Structure 1
Amino acid sequence: MSIDRDTFENTSENELADLSVPDQVLGFLVANQDRAFKAREIASHLSVDEGAVSTALSRLKDRSLIEHKATYWAVTDDAERLDRYSGYERTTALFNDQLGAEEKESWREHAPQKPHRASRTNSDRRRDTDLRAR
């Protein structure tokens, strides 16, 4: 994963070495939570070996932090689970240091009134399917 020159100059070697491939992958998927990606696309975006990304994806899936469908991967919509994951906290802190913390209120100002259908939970989808079947 590339970093800007300012981060390169102002971040210690230990801090730069701390971000593991799973942390990078999870950070990327969280940052792009409205999309799903193939492993090779993630590897390309992060400039990381595709094999390492595939291994990281499998480990993250085993921890129920990401979801997998066909050849696509996306971050879980279980915010509590993500909050409990220490790597997520470290990744978020690193991105906040590099890019600045997000302001929730500014996001809310531009949020749609109705949630996107992809952000619905699995139980919502099952309920809708059950209602259509009746």
Structure 2
Amino acid sequence: MPIGIDAFDDEPEAALDVTPGTQPYRVLAFLAEHDDQAFTQTEIHEETGIKRGSVGAVLSRLEDRGLVRHRGRYWAIAEDDRLASFAAQRGASSASTTDDYHGGDEA
């Protein structure tokens, strides 16, 4: 679907879509869930289902924004308070989908 030229001109070049379901979100979510470990691109591909060729590009964009870090072949979530908040929000979101809500008929 095309976008208007105003949106094209106004979109910051460095914008990165990390809304739920996007590849950057899936990588961040996976790494945040395993913040005590580091993974190779192949392992991230296998765990997230993102195409092997796309994982490297996603990780590079996330690294450019300081959201992930790497050493050698291994990648991990960055040490950043924003990412701790991201992980906490994901945990709260998961918990809310499993909560049992009932109507107000109880007294």
Q: State the SS of the aligned residue for 2:30.
A: helix
* Cα separation, 2, equivalents of 1:52 and 1:92: 26
Q: Which runs of 5+ in 1 are unaligned?
A: 1-16, 102-134
* Cα separation, 2, equivalents of 1:21 and 1:96: 21
* Cα separation, 2, equivalents of 1:41 and 1:72: 10
Query: Is 1:52 matched with 2:54?
Result: yes
How far residue 20 of structure 1 moved from its aligned partner, in angstroms, is: 0.7
* Cα separation, 1, equivalents of 2:24 and 2:91: 15
Task: List structure 1 segments (4+ residues) > 3 angstroms apart after TM superposition.
Answer: 91-97
Q: Which has the higher helix share?
A: 1
Q: Among 89, 95, 104, which residue is 1:100 paired with?
A: 95
Map 1:33-48 → 2, pairs under 5 A? 33-48=35-50
How far residue 31 of structure 1 moved from its aligned partner, in angstroms, is: 0.7
How far residue 48 of structure 1 moved from its aligned partner, in angstroms, is: 1.4
Q: Which runs of 5+ in 2 are unaligned?
A: 1-18, 97-107
* Cα separation, 2, equivalents of 1:56 and 1:95: 23
Q: State the SS of the aligned residue for 2:39.
A: coil
Aligned to 2:29: 27
* Cα separation, 2, equivalents of 1:25 and 1:62: 14
Aligned to 1:79: 81
TM-score w.r.t. length of structure 1? 0.50
* Cα separation, 2, equivalents of 1:92 and 1:22: 17
